[in-house]
Amino acid sequence: MAHVVLKDLVKTYGSFKAVNEVSLTVNDGEFVALVGPSGCGKTTTLNLVAGLTSVTSGDIIIGDRVVNDLDPKDRDIAMVFQNYALYPQKSVYMNLAFPLQMRKLPRDEIDKKVREAARVLDMTQLLERKPRELSGGQQQRVALGRALVRDPAVFLMDEPLSNLDAKLRVQMRSEIKRFHQDLKATIIYVTHDQLEAVTMADRMAVMNGGYLQQYDSPAQIFAHPANMFVASFVGSPAMSLIPLEASTANGDTVLTSAEGWSLALSQPNARKILRASTNKIVLGARHSTIKLHKSSVPGAIPAKAYTVEPTGDVTFVQAFLSGAIVNISVSPNIAVAPDERIWLEFDQERVHLFDGETQTALEAN
């Protein structure tokens, strides 16, 4: 196992910048998720680490070697692909043996390692099958087996679960997590599903438009999103982002909506506003930090329920405030009807404030 360092990594295709000065360090044995929407540069970043794409500028260090100009085969990495990329003409056994054959290991050693990997992944009885005779979950497992059979320095995984059905995905998610814990493997895992990243990774790197937005533990990113993109991307349902205007009147800082209502800020939040470059402020609130009242309460903002989605454990209510969708979660025994008048109270200790111009989070140091 080894650590991986990306230094000011840039990849351009013509005038298009797919990856923009991305720098991050993956510690030895760490599970890092690269997460972001389609086209954010996460897969390109992974391909750069794998050596499948050439670096425009910057450095990639695996272990203690700069690997920029090394072939994929010389980087001591293993990769699991979204479509598994099993060799269709080879049996499961030969698929697992292929990386070892390429390294010219003696035949009996190959056999030993293949059978060991098959035993670990519980697919000894599948060794003679061809990939097309396997189910999606089994194929996925062979792909994983092919990666771990030769004990690489780093595992790269490119959306390995997105071709599986929902139930199997949850199951494989915990299996991969277990696999990481048992092997103490260094893993870089690409996904567009923030839930996968949050549940599996030690740290997650949120990317958008080729830029690294934030790189921290899932808990930190959830609690302190660096900007509006991260805030809206991580967490489900997404954080509500309400555009407002700040003003000060007789010592109190107030956020006013174009709709007419206003919200007086607490002292700590008012201090955060001072850091803003503009009076345009975006208020961010997760569904669980907004309290729903069925009658007027001091400090609560009147709204109208738009949709109501019961999920069993909680009911999600959507409403519009200042033109933005607001998600609120309520206990299922509170009945809310669409178009019903409701009052929303924000938990001022848990709301997030963003600079409306720079879109970055306003923190109190």
Partner 1 sequence: MSTIAETTSRGQTRRRVRIDGWRWGGRVFLVFMLLYTALPMVWMLLTSIKSGFAAMQLPPQWWPDQPTLASYQKLLDPQNSVGQDFLRFFWNSLIVSTATTILSVIVAVPAAYAFSRFTFPGRNFLFFAVLLRNMFPAVIFLVPLFVLMRAIGLVNTHGSLILTYLTFGLPLAIWLLKGFYDNIPVQLEQAARIDGATRLQAFILIVMPLSAPGIIATAIYSFIGAWNEYIYAYTFLSKNEQLTLPVGIQRFFSENTTDFPGLMAASFMMSVPVVVLFLVLQRYFVRALTEGAVKH
Binding residues (CB under 8 A) for partner 1: these are 50-52, 71-73, 75, 77-79, 81-83, 85, 87-89, 98-99, 102-103, 146
Closest approach of partner 1 to the CB of residue 15, in Å: 16
Closest approach of partner 1 to the CB of residue 99, in Å: 4
- For 105, the enclosing helix (H) or strand (E) is none
Two structure tokens written together for 138: 């089994």
Nearer of residues 78 and 118 to partner 1, judged by Cβ: 78
Nearer of residues 43 and 329 to partner 1, judged by Cβ: 43
Nearer of residues 6 and 149 to partner 1, judged by Cβ: 149
What Rg, from alpha-carbon coordinates, does the chain have?
25
Number of C-beta neighbours around residue 81 at 10 A: 15
Closest approach of partner 1 to the CB of residue 105, in Å: 10
Nearer of residues 103 and 112 to partner 1, judged by Cβ: 103
Nearer of residues 163 and 256 to partner 1, judged by Cβ: 163
CA atoms within 13 A on the CB side of 108: 0
**Among candidate residues 266, 346, 239, the one with its CA nearest the CA of residue 303:** 346
- Residue 105 phi, psi (nearest 5): -75, 150
Closest approach of partner 1 to the CB of residue 132, in Å: 11
Closest approach of partner 1 to the CB of residue 84, in Å: 8
Looking at the DSSP assignment, which residues form a beta bridge with residue 230?
A: none
3-state secondary structure of 66: strand
Closest approach of partner 1 to the CB of residue 272, in Å: 47
Residues 201 and 33 sit within 8 Å (Cβ to Cβ): yes
Residues 24 and 215 sit within 8 Å (Cβ to Cβ): yes
Nearer of residues 146 and 203 to partner 1, judged by Cβ: 146
Closest approach of partner 1 to the CB of residue 127, in Å: 18
Nearer of residues 99 and 235 to partner 1, judged by Cβ: 99
CA atoms of 171 and 161, how far apart (whole Å): 10
Angle between helices 136-148 and 107-120 (to 10 degrees): 130
CA atoms of 182 and 47, how far apart (whole Å): 26
